[in-house]
Structure 1
Amino acid sequence: MRRRERRIARVLTVIAGLLGGLVLALVAAGLLATWIITLVIEARYPPAGRRVAVEGGHLAVLEAGPGEGAPSRGTVVLLHGASANAMDPMQAIGRRLAGDGFRVLSFDRPGFGYSDRIAPDAASPAVQARLISEALAAMKVGPALIVGHSWSGALATALALDHPERVAGLALLAPVTHPWPGGSVGGYAAWYRSLPGRMLLTLATYTVAAPLGLAYLDRFAEVVFRPQGLPEGYIDGARVPLVLRPSTFGANLRDLDGLYAFLQAQSPRYRAITAPTVIVAGDADPVVKTDIHAAALAREVPGAKLVVLPGIGHMLQYVAADTVVAEIEILAARERAGAE
């Protein structure tokens, strides 16, 4: 009996060793694939703008329209949402606004595109607002029209609250602005924030996230565009694969993870916003619920204008670009009239 038990133990040891070796081989393959994918992505989508020095690092910015000191209809600053970069809003509405005579600056948020993450607490919209404000000061940009999409609804409102001297007006597109039902509870959130959850997520970020993300990127993008279809050439034109690099993928997750708690603290302050504000959202948005965020913000910001587009989803800067550009131009005219 003892001999049999020893044989079973040896077999189990061999099996465990084989499984361990297989796991290590898969991890090594994932690491190698992620490294290669990152190199290919950065070669395909190299830096396209300039980098502006701020305390602790640099922010990357794309520019279009009249240059510094040239006559213009005003400066528009574009702030992208989650899983994106500066090229996303620039190709959607930035170049069009530049063609209409605006100086357009589109920032890679800290940790995205080719901006440094800079600060350990850069997941906070308040920290990102401080860094954007520093960059605008370094570029000698006076009060500008701030356009924030989705996640950057929290960032744009933080700019207006904490750095009002930088903000001539706010145009918020499908903005995230308020805590949402069930956002801070649930077994998933508890697991995600646990040590084992963090370790597994970090491992996945450096092994399987990039290969799987690359394979399913079109499907993920289609979900965000619903109920409208994915525009042809969007993935490549908006340089979406940049988010699959491990450092950016991790920054994106941390930004999303900390957003709920940040909005709990910031949302009671919205009545203090003094900048002229327009909020544009779709009533069919499956990602950011308009009644929870856009409609609530419009009730709280003094004088805010709310535009709700029937049948339009989350990516309205693409699928309803005419309306978005028109509202930004109306806001610019309103701001100029107020200044005069």
Structure 2
Amino acid sequence: MKRLKRILIALLIAVLVPTLGFRAAAMLRETQSAAEARPESGRMIQTAMGAIYVQEAGPEGGPPLLLAHGTAAWSGLWAETMAALAGQGYRVIAFDMPPFGFSERDAAGDYGRRTQARRILTLTEALQTRPTLIAHSFGAAPAAEAVMIDQDAFAGLVMIDGALGLNSHLTPKPLPVPLRPPWLRRTLVSLTGTNPLLTGTLLAQLLYVKDAATDELIAILQRPMVIEGSTAAFADWLPSLLVPPTDALSTRPENYRALGLPTRLIWGDRDTVTPPEQATELAALIGQGPPLMLTDVGHIPQIEAPGAFQALLFSVLSDIKAGN
């Protein structure tokens, strides 16, 4: 019995020591204020729900586009797409959806889909613009929600490999018990999401074109992780990823059937995160044409096949502009 106890204690120490080490490393790494870490290429926009960091490109009078990123990304991931769209005469605005990037984080840690949708709407009000909303992955969920709350606020909607959770409200589920204590969520996030040793590995899991996970791209994704409290803020956000919303308009198929806004879908045909079958189902609900598939591309088309993606996006935006 004594030997068994010694073995159990040794195993516990073997698990706890590196875990605590990663948590301590996160605290030592997250030492900068958002103002210190923020790239000078963008600016803060004051909205009714806090300050949002945006980066802009293209002529002031061009047709406005608002770009929403996916999980753990920020506006910096859109740089190549922004330059290409600006070259076509569009006014491009990419923003950071908190808690990611350099926008002001929510004091109450509320990053639910409805709240994020209202953030998008308050941003369009502050910008005094009616943009076409272009949203990727998990960012497509609050984007679709914002459109359903107020379609008149937008000229169109483009969803790229959108993670929407259709019908997820029919099978509500609580946050897993081990993740309910905030300190345990923070520990998990320090081991994964804000652990710089895993950024490249986690990114590669989303890609079919693995070579797209370059050192430069990994450095871009890691840039905001030095901001004070990043691990804690990501941990506050985690329930919105793991627990489907029960009050969201954008999980209900009938609301997509009722969309009057020009809406297009762009998808990677090798996406294993939000498989192409989901795009086909969504397109059938919307009834504005089939999803536009990129061949041999995974979950992040804008970095896996930027040229092909941009050409398809130009075509889609011309379509939307012609319909307005």
Higher gyration radius (CA): 1
AA in 2 matched with 1:136: T
**Cα shift readout 1:207-237 (whole Å, capped 9, x = no counterpart):** 54477x2112211111111244234344345
**What residue in structure 2 maps to residue 129 of structure 1?**
117
1:75 alignment partner in structure 2:
64
Show the counterpart of 2:58.
Answer: 65
Which position in structure 1 is the counterpart of 2:25?
Answer: 33
- What is the CA-CA distance between 1:156 and the residue it aligns to? 2.0
* 1:254 shift after superposition: 2.6
Instruction: Provide the residue aligned with 2:137 in structure 1.
Output: 150
- Per the alignment, do residues 274 and 27 of structure 1 end up closer, same or farther by CA in structure 2, a change over 3 Å counting? same
Cα pair 1:74 1:103 within 8 Å, conserved? yes
Q: Which residue of 2 aligns with 1:176?
A: 163
Normalised by the size of structure 1, how large is the TM-score?
0.78
CA offset at residue 19 of structure 1?
Answer: 10
| Correspondence 1:254 to 2:242 | no
Confirm whether residue 281 of structure 1 aligns to residue 267 of structure 2. Answer: yes
Q: Bigger shift: 72-81 or 221-230?
A: 221-230
Mapped partners of 1:38, 1:93: distance in 2? 29
Deviation at 1:60, TM superposition (A): 1.2
Structure 1 position 260, deviation (Å): 6.0
1:204 alignment partner, one of 180, 183, 187: 187
Change (3 A) 1:25 1:101: same
Q: Which amino acid aligns with 1:204?
A: T
In structure 2, C-alpha distance between the alignment counterparts of 1:191 and 1:164, rounded to whole Å? 31
Q: CA deviation at 1:102?
A: 0.9
| In structure 1, C-alpha distance between the alignment counterparts of 2:12 and 2:21, rounded to whole Å | 14
**SS at the partner of 2:322?**
helix
Change in 2 beyond 3 A, CA 1:43/1:21: farther
Mark the runs of 5 or more structure 1 residues left unpaired by the alignment: 1-11
1:222 counterpart residue number: 204
Distance (whole Å) between structure 2 residues aligned to residue 19 and residue 231 of structure 1: 35
Relative to structure 1, the CA distance from residue 156 to residue 25 in structure 2 (aligned partners, 3 Å threshold; closer, same or farther) is closer
Paired with 1:51 and 1:172, the residues of 2 have a C-alpha distance of: 25
Percent identity between the two aligned chains: 23
CA distance in 2 between counterparts of 1:297 and 1:15 reads: 53
Shift in CA distance, 16/43, structure 1 to aligned 2, threshold 3 Å: farther
CA separation of 1:98/1:34 partners in 2, compared to 1, >3 Å: closer, same or farther? same
Cα shift at 1:107: 0.9
Quote the residue 2:322 is aligned against: 337
In structure 2, the partner of 1:312 is 297
Residue 95 of structure 1: how far off its partner (Å): 1.7
2:252 alignment counterpart: 266
Aligned partners of 1:287, 1:304: CA distance in 2, in Å? Answer: 22
1:251 CA drift (Å): 4.2
Look up the SS of the partner of 2:291 in the other structure. strand
Paired residues, what number?
318
Going from structure 1 to structure 2, the CA distance change for 1:248 and 1:297 (only over 3 Å counts) comes to same
Which secondary structure state, in structure 2, belongs to the residue aligned with residue 87 of structure 1? helix
Q: Which shows bigger deviation, 234-243 or 297-306?
A: 234-243
Q: List per-residue Cα deviations over 1:63-91 (Å, max 9, x = no partner).
A: 11123xxxx441111100112111112x2
Q: Distance in 2 between matches of 1:27 and 1:239?
A: 23
Q: How much does 1:108 deviate?
A: 0.6
Contact 2:117 2:146 (C-alpha < 8 Å) held by counterparts:
yes
Residue 201 of structure 1 aligns to which amino acid in structure 2? L
CA contact (8 A) 2:175 2:242 kept: no
Letter of the 1:202 counterpart: R
Contact kept? 2:206, 2:299, Cα under 8 Å = yes
1:40–1:134 CA distance, 2 compared to 1 (3 A): closer
Distance 1:117 1:337, change over 3 A: same
Structure 1 CA distance for aligned equivalents of residues 179 and 210 of structure 2:
38
8 Å Cα contact 1:58/1:116 also seen in 2 = yes
Change (3 A) 1:259 1:151: farther
> Kindly tell me: are residues 234 and 281 of structure 1, through their superposed partners in 2, closer, same or farther at Cα, counting changes over 3 Å?
farther
Residue deviations 1:131-152 (CA, integer Å, cap 9, x gap) = 11111111111x2111111112
State the Cα deviation string for residues 262-281 of structure 1 (Å, max 9, x = none).
47843331112111121111
Distance in structure 2 (CA, Å) of the matches to 1:119 and 1:283:
39
1:40 Cα offset (Å)? 7.0
